[in-house]
A and B are shown apart, each in its own frame.
Chain A
Amino acid sequence: MERFLDRRLFLQLGGMSLALTVADHAVARGLADSRLGRANAPKPKPQPLPMAPQDQLATPTLLTIFLRGGADGLNIAVPTEAGEHGLYLNYRPNIGVTMPMMQGAGTLLTDAGGAAVDFGLHPSALALKQLWDMGYLVLLPDVHYDNGSRSHFDSQQFFENGTPFKKFTPSGWANRHLATSAGGPALMRAIAFEYQTPFAMVGPYPTLAFAGLYDLTIAGGGQRHDTYMNTQEQVYPMTEGGSKQWDPELAVAGRDLVAAIRAVKAQEPLPDTNPAADYVTTNPGNGNLAYFGDRLKDLAKLIKTNVFTIEMAEVDLQGWDTHNIQTTEQPPVIETLARGIKGFIDDVGDAHMQNIVINVYTEFGRTAFENGSVGTDHGSASLAMVIGHPNRVLGRRIVHGPSGWAGLADLRDDRDLRHSVDFRDIIFESVSRHLGNSSPEIFPGYTATPLGLFA
């Protein structure tokens, strides 16, 4: 099903300066907002100038993996405490993960002292179990936000704009972090390996999105590629005055794209993938999931060049909306997730992992009860994970919020797991502790509760 394109990446030396000013991006978006009549959009502030290029090894990276579709956390991190487990199996006679299943797969969890903990992992998450044992993994089984929406569109929007129930916030939390902090050159500070920029990265600050490294060439390189780059580089910033025909956002996107392509090509050949990294890049049987491992591989390559100061990255994984036959639909996606993350960690290596933190979450969990289709419907709280080197992340722990695990006997609306952690607590702690930015603009109007995730 993959598109087989015979594209070669050619070594290309670019002369383009990497230091694009942020000011014009801010103006562009400000213009765009007023043009679109969003009079109440916050006007971008004057931006600090970007810092000089830094060694990637010294640049902290926050990788976000958004599980799109409402991932059923209860089947990934399975309650194993006797009372909870009993309720869990009552609610899920067909799709529940049993103790024998986890025992057989070796996915039951213990703390560092060998004592049992209150959750085990789905049999397909063996790679996560390995990370747990090595101290890389924090499980947060009950994450959401107050009065959580059960609409895909709305809840994803709230996770990404960082302002639950305010739908028209024009930027995402990640963009607001970028806009309120100094970092490496603006270009390549934030990359999404996606067909479209995820909303978290949308905003005045320039970010990049491309599906993979294979994508960064026209005509397989050569003279046509050069002509194309030179032409578009000139044309995109030109105004076509007056009408709505000229789009400042588009102008910036075009210029950024040419600069990014030139910057990456200057680094070719890119570092090899570590052969020990066991990404799942073959179809495990549920649609085409290979893209997930492929994108993580590409991110690892860029990081290992030690050139690009990639502060924020995103690779999403779809396929979680398991309304029916969850026993068939969910396991391959869980396996893809687990092995992709482990493969990435093995690929970038220990030195780089000291500076990388991974956040994994989803827009909502699913009903505690299974439904009539051997699946689950939209719910509320779900599993989130924070993953990183034990020198950075205090792993091998289960973290709840101050109100503690609500339990399966006390369901929201008699159907959903209640949350004890607001998703913004995870993101804010990661951004402030790992990326060094505690700006209140990241989650305006919200004060995060510290979770103690980091060393």
Chain B
Amino acid sequence: MTHFRTRSRALGAGLLAVALALPAAAQVRPGGGGFGGSSNNPPASDDAFLYHVLRRTTFGPTTESLAEIRAMGADAWLWRQLHPQTIDDAVLDARLRSELPPMDLVADEGHPIATGSVQLAHLPMALSQVGPGPAVQNVTRGLSLLEGVDYTVDYQVGVPTERVITFLPARMGITWSNNDNVLVDYRSNEYQWGELSYEFLQRSMSSNKQLEAVMTQFWENHFDTSIEHGGNDDQWHEWALMEAQEDAAFRANAFGRFRDLLEISAKSAAMMWFLDNYQNTVRMSNENYARELLELHSLSVDCGYDQFDVEQVARIFSGWSASYFARVPPDPCGPGEVPPACDPNDYVEGGFLFDRGAHDLLPKPNPSDPDNVRPTVLGTTFPAGQGLAEGLRVLDIVSEHPCTAQFISRKLINLFVMDDPTEEYVDRIATEYLAADGDTREVLWAIFKSPEFRDPANFGGKIKQPLEQTLSTLRAVEGQVNTSPRGFYDGYEWHDMFWVVWSQGQQLFRFGIPTGYPEVGGGWISSNGLLERWQYADGLMFSTPRPGAEISTDPMAVLQRLRLTDADAILDHYSRLILGGKLSDERRQILRPLLVNPGSGRFEPADPGQTWRLRETISNMLGFPESIKQ
């Protein structure tokens, strides 16, 4: 029985990403036919088109990205973004490594040796009866910090206790919850979830691999899982780690084959938990995952399957679970091992567990079942005893299905082009999907080549999701991330970005409806969304930098660096980044008086009141309707 622990900084190599054999991605060729040639396509150097590309394929234009795309031209820039291995992110990676504490990613086939419930003061004694070792030492260290506190601990030697106890020093001074059986209180649960969200937001905001970040979020949302499911407070640490694993795998496969992405999701512990598949066994079927696999992840509602298929696919995925949920520690047979030294029914791959003992081995459909409505499922049959391969075969079938091609193509068109594509456009991209065997990179290239993507009538036509709004704001005003090691753990400051997005209706990693958030705009327009947006804009521009405050802005310094002193040039600079183009005359008449010195009518850098006026101008511009569109 192997027991290994990987300490990985930040969201390091996800085990799922390592476990899958990733085929080498086909490289797309820059300048493949059809660019700038037809009368529908604006020249690739046209400014309006460049803003459009940045607004859609990144989390918002910046001065740097604008300069970059002007220099390279849109096509070469897009090609580069589609090949993130050619992009350098060393600065960001180093910063995150230094900011974030290690996240212990324990992939534990060695399950708890002992479990029990005991007063904390007695824990070392209880553990010492199990045996000496690092567990007892860790607990002793934890106890000395909590002298005088008396509460009950549920302990498990091996996995959770060790991980939890090592984080105790960071949580001094925090009151414990009233749930006495919970060792890890509410805020420390957020601590793990907060790390995940923090890193995700920092990458999305600052990575040079912007399109990769956009696609990672797309897959995360498409294969939605929620960290908050079942409400077991003492397991939130584990759920956060599961989401982190999944996120890393999606990032590594952001431009990969859809078939591979399906498998990442299907084998993800987060998904096994969120859609209850770890409880789907031959004894009692749970069809939650099977339904959503067909309805939400691949074929889409009512396309190519029916209730009978759902029930049979549920049987096929019985036994798909995660080691963490196994009642008995999985014990797969290693080389040279034979039963009874090992369990031939267990197959383990990273955190994924296939428990053949819990799998329904009968054929699907089962010819002896009088309730069968037909002899096939998804148009075929699954002979008895195929085990894990059956589920993989279902993934093959759905990933190649025209319904899936349509569904994924439509979603990607919604993300990058328009909320209301014609059926012909969707068909065109779906054809590409099928021809490219579901390769995301190829499908995206087809979308970026399409006349619809390049049609000015579609520029600025999409409503931003709250995540996109917040990130594009920070990128446009060059929000500075200030963290100190202590500041990271303090209060709610470090939550800021996260709560801003939340309060506008988007809960990262915690959206409990498996459909994920809509990409199509109408649902995001509401008075409350606007309200939160206006509040955020003002709060951001006027927040005083303080120790531990996550984000600050210094627009005067930005203007100095860019050598902008003319009021109209300043308005246009921000308008390009925030509104997607130069400021119109009507809006200029409203904003200019906010910006300039009332006496001289000019921008006066030396005037003490000028900073305040600049901040107020930007804050108001951030409230404009165009800043909510992209």
Contacts and interface: CB of A to CB of B under 8 A. Distances in A.
Interface centre among A69, A208, A217, A287 (most CB of B within 10 A): A287
Interface string B615-627: 0100110011110
A231 B586 CA distance: 12
Interface stretch (B380-388, B390-398, B527-535): B527-535
Contact of B531 (A37, A153, A235, A257): A257
A113 interface: no
B525 A318 contact: no
B620 A210 contact: no
A251 interface: yes
Interface string A247-291: 101110110110011000000000000000000000001110000
Contacts of B591: 231
Nearest to B502: A3
A372 B277 CA distance: 10
B320 to A, nearest CB: 14
Contacts of A323: 276, 286, 288
A235 B625 contact: yes
A174 B295 CA distance: 29
Sort A-B residue pairs by CB-CB distance and give the 4 closest, nearest first. A372-B284, A244-B461, A195-B505, A245-B460
A196 B528 contact: yes
B538 A249 contact: no
Contact of B281 (A32, A218, A249, A372): A372
B21 interface: no
Interface string A197-232: 101001000001111000111110000100110011
A153 B625 contact: no
B463 interface: yes
A228 B620 contact: yes
Interface string B510-536: 001111000000111111111110110
Interface string A389-421: 000000000000000000000000100000000
B535 to A, nearest CB: 6
B295 A151 contact: yes
A236 interface: yes
Contact of B513 (A153, A199, A209, A287): A153
B190 interface: yes
Given A152-B515, A287-B228, A227 B594 contact: yes
Given A3-B499, A324-B230, A373-B276, A196 B623 contact: no
A377 B287 contact: yes
A240 B287 CA distance: 50
A371 B288 CA distance: 11
B560 interface: no
Contacts of B587: 235, 238
B538 to A, nearest CB: 5
A331 to B, nearest CB: 11
Contact of B534 (A37, A197, A228): A228
B538 A218 contact: yes
Given A219-B539, A240-B584, A285-B231, 10 more contacts: A36-B420, A209-B526, A217-B535, A231-B623, A240-B626, A253-B525, A257-B527, A257-B531, A377-B286, A377-B287
Contacts of B459: 243-245
A251 B307 CA distance: 43
B58 interface: no
A369 to B, nearest CB: 10
A84 interface: no
B526 A253 contact: yes
Given A154-B301, A231-B590, A256-B527, A244 B457 contact: yes
Contacts, number: 178
B276 A324 contact: yes
Given A243-B461, A286-B231, A373-B279, A196 B625 contact: no
A196 B231 contact: no
A247 B538 contact: no
B271 to A, nearest CB: 13
A321 B275 CA distance: 11
A232 B457 contact: no
13 contacts: A151-B301, A153-B301, A195-B505, A196-B529, A209-B526, A218-B538, A227-B620, A236-B625, A243-B459, A245-B459, A285-B231, A329-B230, A372-B285
B592 to A, nearest CB: 12
A227 B616 contact: yes
A227 B461 CA distance: 28
Given A36-B419, A227-B594, A243-B456, A195 B529 contact: yes
A224 B539 CA distance: 11
Contacts of B279: 324, 371-373
B503 A3 contact: yes
Nearest to A288: B228
B524 A196 contact: yes
Nearest to A195: B505
Interface string B572-596: 0000000010001011001100100
Nearest to A215: B531
Nearest to A283: B186
B629 A247 contact: yes
A106 B616 CA distance: 59
Contacts of B529: 195-196
Interface string B443-481: 000000000000011111101000000000000000000
A318 B538 contact: no
Give the size category of A's interface with B: 35 or more
Nearest to B310: A150
Contacts of B512: 69, 318, 321
Contacts of A154: 301
Nearest to B523: A196
B620 A325 contact: no
B107 interface: no
A225 to B, nearest CB: 8
B538 A219 contact: yes
B519 to A, nearest CB: 14
A1 interface: yes
Contacts of B288: 323, 377
B229 to A, nearest CB: 9
A1 B492 CA distance: 9
B504 A195 contact: yes
A71 to B, nearest CB: 14
Contacts of A377: 286-288
A210 B532 CA distance: 9
Nearest to B630: A245
A194 interface: yes
A244 B460 contact: yes
B492 A202 contact: no
B191 interface: no
B29 interface: no
B526 A197 contact: yes
A318 B552 CA distance: 35
A416 to B, nearest CB: 12
Given A3-B503, A154-B301, A216-B531, A224 B542 contact: yes
A211 B495 CA distance: 19
B161 interface: no
A362 to B, nearest CB: 14
B593 to A, nearest CB: 10
A328 interface: yes
Contacts of A236: 625
Interface string A1-19: 1011000000000000000
A261 B535 CA distance: 13
Given A69-B512, A246-B625, A210 B527 contact: yes
B372 interface: no
Contacts of B287: 377
Interface in A111-166: 151-154
A40 interface: no
Given A209-B526, A209-B527, A257-B530, A235 B624 contact: yes
A224 B286 contact: no
A244 B534 CA distance: 22
B628 interface: yes
A447 interface: no
B553 interface: no
